[in-house]
Chain A
């Protein structure tokens, strides 16, 4: 259940509000100054008498807080019994000028309540609450327009104010200019930028708030690995008992603890993450944290399709698909794979480890739907019909060579194309995928490629069979090329006459030596061939004239 913040009864207008905003003062101008009003003290006295139903005794509270370890050890009797000493300091009052903790006013939740946002943070050094590490206090400011009214929390301990201090630390959500008063404070041992990614790492310090407490705040001690292990069930959990105690890794960056069925790794940037089972075994074959993957950044997860489990690492991911195997997708393959939808995309699951090509010019990884090649800094994927076609013509060792970019739309909203070192593959769902290269590609490009009259290819360049030339077919014509003639397009009625009447390039006409000129050309539309000409009269009449 979420506690609804008390609503404001009024929003006095302020004449200077617009002026303040233009001056860079972004506090909610509609939130009036409750501290200056004469009714505030009366309201404090009224509210402090007990909105908070549960009473927390001094002793029971202190036994739960970090203060036990510090102050109690020094002077337990004084500390417990003297009014106005540590107990008062930890608990605070409605008049001490500070804001209550969120867990006090937000149903025990140590998080920002509705109608508030993470607006800034500070830290207190050497905090007992965080076992001697820095303690972070994150302010939750009211969103504009302010929907809460200044009041005391009403708790017997942490009876501090809520919605009164219109102050902003300012490192978080800086895209939000307007802010209302601080509704409450989140206390954590987790750095704020990891608690909320909108926060920056610019630190502010206020050590006087080090031991501000509340009954709902507990110490946060133990190493992250120890806490993680406990959270996973300890020795009764799936990791099983400890087999090697936590220790620093040789990289001086992280720590690891080993258990019967898995490990927990920790760094300050990744947090504590477990790795177990077959994924851990694969991680080991990749040299663990000293290998390409570095530290895990997630626990083991189940994929959305429920067909695999996986763990994320700083430099990639490991998938366990069961019977097909366990495969690592390291950087830079991982980024490319993700860019194409990951396992749900066109490439699908990895089907093998990263391999080196026979020509030593690349490394690659196979996937269900294609392959990713890495050559130096170039990372290119190839998939589907284009991949199948490329493989059918000897892949990177064939006439196209290596792909140099990913499959991309051709711009006609119909097809796609992928560039290779020595050619281009064009694809549409109706024509399929065909590569073009050499003189055929040169002519196709010169004639406007997919936007030209030929449209998309329906074959790759194929030997004519005379030992001289090649040809490729297209949706609306052919291109013929030979070593001596170059490449030229033949289409329409001229193509029909060329092939059906005169035997094509192996017939009397041989190879074309020109294109058919456009309609209106003086002297008529005549296409020249090695053995003569074809004059286009109309779609049913093409006249052949042999060379003299």
Chain B
């Protein structure tokens, strides 16, 4: 299945599901969801397990449900002012994740057995963080090919 929105497209492998979302922009009348000056950007969640409806942008709510064979891929976009800064100096979206990139500490919320990897990059003058969570670090070798296949099918279009 192919997902396409907000200048991002991805071909989901069998057994994966995903969302490309853009949160509601706060206004003066909706201060409960933030300040009108905030800018919302596209967020991609891809997973080889059922994603819950209520999720944090970096996967909270979803990571609680993960078991060892599960992978969550988050592609989080930042404003154009971030593009090509030191943090986002890497050019191009990573297509190959390896076990050595992952750490049990590199998680938004550290949960037993899980491991994460954050890669900040710029592509087409758009700044992103690719955040990948493994349900079990010990299964990295087995599940990363799936994640890499997903990344291979994901394209960021220049804006």
Contacts and interface: CB of A to CB of B under 8 A. Distances in A.
Contacts, number: 167
B139 interface: no
A33 B110 CA distance: 11
B82 interface: yes
B34 interface: yes
Nearest to A125: B33
Interface string B80-115: 011001111110001000001101111111110001
Contacts of B116: 167
B56 A23 contact: no
B100 A209 contact: no
A123 B78 contact: no
Best-surrounded residue of A174, A191, A206 (most CB of chain B within 10 A): A174
Contact of B56 (A134, A205, A252): A205
B151 interface: no
Interface residues of A, number: 54
Interface string A340-371: 00000000000000000000000000000000
Given A200-B82, A206-B60, A33 B103 contact: yes
Interface string B21-65: 001001010011111111111000000000000101110110000
A169 B120 CA distance: 10
Interface string A221-255: 00000000000000000000000000000001000
Interface of B is mostly: loop
Contacts of B33: 125-126, 134
B37 A193 contact: yes
Interface string A122-141: 11011000001110000000
B53 to A, nearest CB: 12
A209 B60 CA distance: 9
Contact of A171 (B26, B31, B78, B109): B78
Contacts of A319: none
A24 B90 contact: yes
Contact of B105 (A34, A125, A252): A34
Contacts of B115: 36
Interface string B115-150: 111111100000001000000010000000000000
A201 B104 contact: no
A174 B118 contact: no
B58 A150 contact: no
B120 A123 contact: no
Interface in A3-23: 16, 19-20, 22-23
Nearest to A36: B104
Contacts of A36: 103-105, 115, 137
B32 A126 contact: yes
B156 to A, nearest CB: 14
Contacts of B40: 202-203
Contact of B35 (A165, A174, A177, A268): A268
Contacts of A325: none
B79 interface: yes
Contact of B61 (A26, A123, A191, A208): A208
A204 B36 CA distance: 14
Given A35-B104, A177-B89, A122 B118 contact: no
A170 interface: yes
B106 A167 contact: yes
A190 to B, nearest CB: 9
B76 interface: yes
Contacts of A26: 87, 120
A34 B56 CA distance: 25
Contacts of A457: none
Contact of B118 (A25, A202, A209): A25
A97 B87 contact: no
A289 B61 CA distance: 45
Given A134-B31, A176-B87, A170 B101 contact: no
Closest 8 CB pairs of A and B: A24-B90, A206-B56, A35-B104, A97-B109, A174-B85, A36-B104, A177-B86, A203-B38
Interface of B: 23, 26, 28, 31-41, 54, 56-58, 60-61, 76-79, 81-82, 85-90, 94, 100-101, 103-111, 115-121, 129, 137
30 contacts: A16-B100, A22-B90, A25-B118, A25-B119, A36-B103, A98-B109, A122-B56, A122-B57, A123-B34, A133-B32, A134-B32, A134-B33, A164-B105, A164-B110, A166-B103, A168-B120, A174-B88, A175-B85, A176-B86, A176-B87, A191-B35, A200-B79, A201-B38, A202-B38, A203-B26, A207-B54, A207-B56, A209-B56, A268-B36, A269-B37
Interface of A: 16, 19-20, 22-27, 31, 33-36, 96-98, 122-123, 125-126, 132-134, 150, 161, 164-171, 174-177, 181, 191, 193, 200-209, 252, 268-269
Given A24-B121, A96-B109, 17 more contacts: A20-B101, A24-B89, A25-B117, A35-B103, A36-B137, A125-B33, A161-B110, A164-B105, A166-B105, A167-B108, A175-B86, A200-B81, A200-B82, A201-B39, A202-B77, A206-B60, A269-B37
